[in-house]
Chains A and B, each alone.
Chain A
């Protein structure tokens, strides 16, 4: 099956700094990528949807200036947590759907996640 990678897998940063998380589709081109946030023992919450070459669409309640998403190519999307604070500590997961199809025919493939800890 298709593979989605995330880098880094784990990051610890100081409060006030910015952190960039990469999401790559390794063996397919992803027209659409999704970013989720997962709190301990809770479900995944969709943060935003990004389409290659266009601005991301954020879910209600997600601060677009805090969580900057760039989907510059068909294989790479980045999430930058700006001026991170301890409450931003979480598990961030991306997923990607292949181009040329619809969600009806193409599965979302998920990355392994990035654990962010803000001190």
Chain B
């Protein structure tokens, strides 16, 4: 069965520092992968998605993610974190490449000034 693992439950960084959130997936074929951000009181917002092609995907808010098949990973990165980036981040994979999403357990990002 497909699964998504986010090894880091909670990450704290200083504003302006770089960020990498880890995501590992389990799927035999090429997966469809997503990163979402959840802020309190707001719905999940799609940051970026990977279906095929260039393995480095650019998203909104300055985020990017790199698909590495050899490592079954799709880590999210940002070169310089802003205080407004503090939120919960979820990695997700599409079940059998359909509409259904399986989410990881999320990583809570805290940003210190």
Q: Is the CB of B99 within 8 A of A110?
A: no
Complex contacts, B106 vs chain A, CB 8 Å: 41-43
The CA-CA distance from A63 to B43 in the complex, in Å, is 25
- Further 9 A-B residue pairs, CB within 8 A, beyond A103-B94, A110-B43, A112-B42: A4-B43, A9-B41, A32-B99, A34-B99, A41-B9, A42-B105, A43-B105, A49-B99, A108-B101
A97 contacts B by Cβ under 8 Å: yes
Interface of B with A (CB < 8 Å)?
Answer: 9, 32, 36, 41-46, 49, 51, 90, 94, 98-106
Interface of A with B (CB < 8 Å)?
Answer: 4, 9, 32, 34, 41-46, 49, 93, 95, 97, 103-104, 107-113
A57 CB, nearest partner CB in chain B, Å: 9
A53 CB, nearest partner CB in chain B, Å: 17
Q: Is the CB of A44 within 8 A of B51?
A: no
Q: How many A-B contacts are there with CB distance less than 8 Å?
A: 51
Q: Chain B: interface secondary structure?
A: loop
Q: Is the CB of A97 within 8 A of B99?
A: yes
Q: Is the CB of A43 within 8 A of B43?
A: no
Q: Is the CB of B45 within 8 A of A44?
A: no
Complex contacts, A44 vs chain B, CB 8 Å: 44, 90, 101, 103
B27 CB, nearest partner CB in chain A, Å: 16
Complex contacts, B46 vs chain A, CB 8 Å: 107-108
A9 CB, nearest partner CB in chain B, Å: 8
Complex contacts, B98 vs chain A, CB 8 Å: 103
In the assembled complex, 26 residue pairs joining A and B whose CB atoms fall closer than 8 Å, in A order, are A4-B43, A34-B99, A41-B9, A42-B105, A42-B106, A43-B103, A43-B104, A43-B105, A44-B44, A44-B101, A44-B103, A46-B101, A95-B43, A97-B99, A103-B94, A103-B98, A104-B32, A104-B51, A107-B49, A108-B46, A110-B36, A110-B43, A110-B45, A112-B41, A112-B42, A113-B43
